Amino acid sequence: MDVLMRSPGEAQRNDQPRKQDIARDFGGASETYESASRLQRHMGDVMLDRLGQWRAGGDNPDILDLGCGTGWFTRKLLKAYPGAHVTGVDLSPGMINHASLNSPAPIDWLVADAGSLPLPDNSVDIVFSNLMIQWCDHPQQVLAECRRLLRPDGMLVCSTLLDGTLKELEQAWAQADPGRRHVNRFEAASAINRYVDEALPGGEVTTGTVTLDYPSPLALTRELKSLGAGYKGQDRRRTATAPGRLRAMCANYPRTPEDTILASYQACWITYSFPFPNPNF
């Protein structure tokens, strides 16, 4: 469900996805995404709790849902702030089309790249971004864009995933199909902290582990497919995985005493409040 983001100027790796592949895969999953989004809902609900009753912009704040997907949290933001001007942004035209057809009319929708948003400086009171920056080549650039957009006293709440996510699935595939990647790469916590220090001085980073249970490894892989979050590296096989390798992966995946499986997600939340300028400087 993630990629290894590279530093500016670094050559693209074979295990990194292309933007067109990201947009296509998520657009293709727009009809099944919400039914499979257990992790996404948990991560976003934590962010809504952190946002609380933040009232930057008064009763009519400008809110940006960056990487809005099907618009699940875009709609929840409008419900939390009934007088707000809410905009949902996503790289995938398919996701934006689905969101616009299944959401209230007051929400605006925009297809755009998170690293270069066609919005003016100091134009947003709240930026909400749930499990999006892990798909970006340069997450520090995206965080800097968020800061550029925020008005004084504005707030950013953001989530991503870290190295160690889906470690059980990765280890099972390593035994079943040595030398081939089947799980996307994730940033280390130290890298995320560095990006926040550079782009969002004073920003807060918190981490934790979210564990979800599944009846089988195949149920986990089906969920990832329903989310559009399967492995996206350019070195991925273009044909269906051989049944023998798939059976071997399932055999090597650890099971609980109840004959289910667990999948670990290393979660990260970023919170940043853009302070008012100090009139003494």
Give the model confidence (pLDDT) of 232-247 as tens digits.
666 666 666 789 999 9
Domains of the chain: 19-273 (3.40.50.150)
Residues 149/124, Cβ–Cβ less than 8 Å: yes
Over residues 212-223, the mean pLDDT reads 97
Per-residue model confidence (pLDDT) at position 108: 97
Residue 24 above 90 pLDDT? no
Residue 14 above 60 pLDDT? no
Over residues 156-160, the mean pLDDT reads 97
pLDDT of 79-124, one tens digit each?
Answer: 999 999 999 999 999 999 999 999 988 999 999 999 999 999 999 9
Per-residue model confidence (pLDDT) at position 21: 80
Residues 94/28, Cβ–Cβ less than 8 Å: yes
Residues 220 and 242: their CA atoms lie apart, in Å, by 18
Residue 279 above 60 pLDDT? no
Mean predicted lDDT score pLDDT of the chain: 89
Residue 186 above 80 pLDDT? yes
pLDDT of 254-267, one tens digit each?
Answer: 999 999 999 999 99
**What is the DSSP secondary-structure string of 211-226?**
EEEESSHHHHHHHHHH
Per-residue model confidence (pLDDT) at position 277: 55
Beta bridge mates, 86: 63
- The pTM of this model reads 0.89
Over residues 34-62, the mean pLDDT reads 88
SS3 145: helix
| Among 39, 40, 28, CA closest to 68 | 40
Sign of the CA dihedral 43, 232, 260, 254?
negative
